[in-house]
A and B are shown apart, each in its own frame.
Chain A
Amino acid sequence: MGAIGLTVIDWIIILIYFGFVIGIGFYLRKFTTSEEDFFLAGRKNSAWVAGLAFLSANLGALELLGMTGNTFKYGMYVAHFYWIGAVPAMLFLGIYMMPFYYSSKIKSIPGYLLLRFDEKTRILNGIAFAIMTLLVSGINLYAMALVLHTFLGWDWNVSMWISAITVAIYVGLSGLMSAIFTEIIQFFMIWFGLFLVSLMGIIEFGSLDQIMHRLPETMNTLWSTSGDPTKNGMFIHWSGLVLGLGFVLSFGYWTTDFLVVQRAFSAKDLRTARTAPLLASFFKMALPFLVILAGMIAIVLSSDPKSGFKLLQDGGQINYDSALPLLIKRYYPTGLVGLGVTALLAGFMAGQAGNISAFNTVWTYDIYKSILNKKATDAHLLKVGRIATIVGVIISLGTAYWAKSFPSIMDYMQAIFSWVNAPLFATMLLGMFVWWITPNGAFWGLIVGMSSSFLMWAGVKFNWFSESLITNSSVQSDMAANFWRAWWAWLICFSVTIIISLFTKKREKEELVGLVKGLTKEVKEGHIPFIKKPEFLALISLIVFIILNLLFW
């Protein structure tokens, strides 16, 4: 495929977007006067704002391109990432975990670890998170330049520097507040910019049913072929899906990754903070109709030689990420191409801004204030946060150039998450629900959990042992390996934390009030009808989730 040609109109659409996000950064600057404004967006957001930002922080363009491409590769099983791989965790966060996070007035997840356990556990997680965030931010930046270079023919350096400078300006000016504003604009850009691909596909084939019927059986079901790994596109057994993706990876990401949870912390009160992830769960469930459907349309088109649709090849290998840009090229006339490209750009930049705003908070509170300057004033911390934003963007650029020299680093993205997030979820779960878990148990459990996840990855990578030892299956896929590795890392961290806690000094129960369930008095909200409670919203979300799974069983 030649590069997608942009006309003047397409450029106007792209420039309108850039003008808006930079303008919003300057507009919000005058409302960002305290460190709470900068790091927590003033804690005054509504459930809709916090909820959409919570969802959008995860909705990067890398995810959109990758998941559409993964659907081409694995079929409808990829929808599990949006349903079982997200919804139960979001509901659990809103109903059970948010009261502890929000009520303790922490500014970050490592901040909770300090209150619940001790300083060393906080610093360990703070440093691991900061490294992961900058690594992911840099890889995102590189991926963006790669996509723009491949599909639009743009220069690498220009793409990376312009987007990095834009992110540095608006996050540096008003921190989380402008990050959240642009994430919500990105949410609308993505729906308006990319949902039209699915609509046009439905128009071309006549109906959604027509598309589903043209797919092979291994590609058009969710669960019915999961009893035998050889019979589904992802080569995974349902137990791996449920334990690895549905439990560990999903809960590890959606309930403990500060990048997304920070958005819910920006809510104006506890009920709003609890409602944010619940509202987000509905939009998460709708995303397969954008991402997965586009991937399925690409499968159907490419299986029909008359359609003229064929994915790109890189060095003899299929470039799955090309599915979405090729569909844009197929269906979008001038003007709409600009909107589609803007949606991808917005996704890339919001993904980067999300990482940078999470990094500047963890750096400022959990590393700088915790280790380097314990007596820093609020005004000083605000200044440090702004400097950390600029430094974070510069390090991301360095990582992006590093990734450009070693492109295979992109394959390690999922692995990086399973090194940090999967064990952390075991620590958080035990910390919030079991009072006798000790600081030493948490610290060493986390160290052993993270190391074991890394060793499992390295063991397979360097052929120290067979992947089937981890996946318990004769057929393999990278996705199945990621799910199973996350499960084992979680289980190891969980077990080691419990065993060490049995033999080490426990904290007094009085010190854990407000941090552990069972020791904390539940906040009564007065008489509120059930239909206005977060629990009601969670119930509706659960029902929709069950219906969707049954519908596409």
Chain B
Amino acid sequence: MKPIWYFVGLILSIMGIVIFLTGIYLLFYPPQIKTILSETHPNIWWGLIMIATGLILYYKNRHKLV
């Protein structure tokens, strides 16, 4: 059985990619109604943090079985 960390890595990576790409899109096409601190582009840096965490967990556990 795959360890839970494999699945955590997978879901964080997938969600992180969606959030990061949304951030890139919002960078070029800013929404009309802006959220507070939207100028800091939280989608981009938070998405990257999620992808990094997710990939570390995924790669460390991709061949492990428990």
Residues of A at the B interface (CB closer than 8 Å) are 9, 12-13, 16-17, 20, 24, 27-28, 31, 44, 46, 49, 180-181, 184-185, 188, 192, 196, 200, 203-204, 329-336, 339, 342
Contact = CB atoms under 8 A, between A and B. Distances in A.
A382 to B, nearest CB: 18
A188 B8 contact: yes
Nearest to B22: A335
B42 to A, nearest CB: 6
B48 interface: no
Contacts of B37: 200, 203-204, 331
B35 A335 contact: no
A471 B6 CA distance: 50
Given A13-B15, A333-B31, A339-B15, A49 B4 contact: yes
Contacts of A9: 18, 22
A203 B46 CA distance: 14
A24 B6 CA distance: 11
B18 A16 contact: yes
Sort A-B residue pairs by CB-CB distance and give the 8 closest, nearest first.
A335-B22, A335-B19, A31-B1, A9-B22, A184-B4, A333-B35, A20-B11, A335-B43
Q: What size tier do the contact residues of chain B reach? A: 20 to 34
Interface in B1-56: 1-2, 4, 7-8, 10-12, 14-15, 18-19, 22-23, 26, 31, 34-38, 40, 42-43, 46-47, 49-50, 53
A184 B14 contact: no
Contact of B11 (A17, A49, A204, A333): A17
A185 B11 contact: yes
Interface of B: 1-2, 4, 7-8, 10-12, 14-15, 18-19, 22-23, 26, 31, 34-38, 40, 42-43, 46-47, 49-50, 53, 66
B23 A335 contact: yes
B8 A331 contact: no
B19 A13 contact: yes
A48 B42 CA distance: 30
Contacts of A332: 35, 42
Contacts of A335: 18-19, 22-23, 43, 47
Given A200-B42, A331-B37, A334-B26, A185 B8 contact: yes
Given A16-B15, A24-B7, A330 B36 contact: yes
Contacts of B36: 200, 204, 330-331
Contacts of B12: 188, 192
A46 B1 CA distance: 14
A196 B36 CA distance: 13
A1 to B, nearest CB: 14
Contacts of B7: 20, 24, 181, 185
Contacts of B43: 333, 335-336
Contacts of B4: 49, 180-181, 184-185
B8 A184 contact: yes
B14 A16 contact: yes
A114 B58 CA distance: 44
27 contacts: A13-B18, A17-B11, A20-B7, A20-B11, A24-B7, A181-B4, A184-B4, A188-B11, A192-B12, A192-B50, A196-B42, A196-B46, A332-B42, A333-B22, A333-B34, A333-B38, A333-B43, A334-B22, A334-B31, A335-B18, A335-B19, A335-B22, A335-B43, A336-B42, A336-B43, A339-B15, A339-B19
Contacts of A336: 19, 42-43, 46
Contacts of A192: 12, 15, 46, 49-50, 53
A44 B66 contact: yes
A192 B40 CA distance: 17
B11 A16 contact: yes
Contacts of A16: 11, 14-15, 18
A331 B18 contact: no
A181 B50 CA distance: 19
Contacts of B15: 13, 16-17, 192, 339, 342
Nearest to A335: B22
A332 B34 CA distance: 10
A336 B18 CA distance: 10
Contacts of B11: 16-17, 20, 185, 188
Contacts of A203: 37, 40
Given A49-B4, A330-B35, A331-B42, 16 more contacts: A13-B15, A17-B11, A181-B4, A184-B8, A185-B8, A188-B8, A192-B12, A192-B15, A192-B50, A192-B53, A331-B35, A333-B22, A334-B26, A335-B18, A335-B22, A339-B19
